[in-house]
A = this chain, B = another copy of it.
């Protein structure tokens, strides 16, 4: 082995010069952004959104099994970095995710993410995955799964207010899961709407570009808000919200950031993922700490009513919860082998004798190559 080892460029083989081949135990399957995009195309985006919705719904059904904790946030003036861990007792998962609204001005993503699954019995990671794309997919799949339970039966039209990175995913997930046929787009920036409309062309969804929120909500049974401003905004005024609709409020998802006029909350039945987190991050920041809410898992398992009347306004106060990421990572792990995707990452030290970490290190050195190499053939 020659030292120093040259910096490996993107297209080189990182393992070409490895002193010894790591054992299987040392390797963690890794899903790169490229892998994730291939997986979406291999499965088909609508099929994948449906599959994710099913995995998420299955995990909401066994909600009580999970370790649940509000995400662990590190706030700065520019944004937030969060860790979202959970476990079902057999598999542990967590997601790293940031939220930096000003990033777009520098050509960066507002949200990037990656996640991990590990075996609870050994603590060994079993999957590391990009989650910027996967978060977009799981957020949309969650909205669609919730709409299946709460939106008016036979809903065909959605107003999509905020036409950023999440808008196409929301629309296609609703199409794939509840049979949405029409989306009415509005954004304060017409360029965002044009982008969304262009991306949805050819997907089979009827796209109607609207010039105002008022126009967007005309005839819509589902009102989705998904804007990026990190402040208390009023994307939907109370007078815009008619009886019987389902509101899918995505963008109000961190302290100080909301999208709905408070009066809407008082006219709605509010459904949330995990109350201790939603009280801090969701639309219900605006109302009293004991304002009544229903937990979604109770609706999904039949313990609590969902939609009970034609005129009822249902509101999904979506903030995104760790279990949804866990479900999404489970889906990816299961789908990966069929698709033949993923790379193996030399991420865990795995000495022959677990107590001999130092020996492993030394055998990999300039004087120990022969020994290390010979250990491969043993």
Contacts and interface: CB of A to CB of B under 8 A. Distances in A.
Contact of A67 (B67, B74, B132): B74
Contacts of A350: 33, 108-109
B74 A92 contact: yes
Contacts of A116: 96
Contacts of A163: 355
A84 to B, nearest CB: 10
A195 B122 CA distance: 24
B340 A5 contact: yes
A89 interface: yes
Interface string A195-227: 100010000000000000000000000000000
11 contacts: A3-B339, A9-B344, A22-B33, A41-B365, A76-B87, A98-B122, A103-B122, A108-B122, A108-B354, A132-B357, A199-B359
Given A34-B22, A358-B169, A365-B41, A343 B14 contact: yes
Interface string A126-164: 000010110010000000000000000000000000011
Contacts of A132: 348-349, 357
Contacts of A40: 361, 365
Given A7-B341, A340-B5, A85 B83 contact: yes
Interface stretch (A24-32, A57-65, A243-251, A257-265): A24-32
Contacts of A19: 34, 37-38
A67 B112 CA distance: 22
A346 interface: yes
A79 interface: yes
A288 interface: no
B3 A104 contact: no
Nearest to A38: B5
A199 B362 contact: yes
A342 B4 CA distance: 11
B100 A199 contact: no
Interface in A320-378: 337, 339-351, 353-362, 364-366
Given A33-B26, A125-B114, A349-B109, A72 B96 contact: no
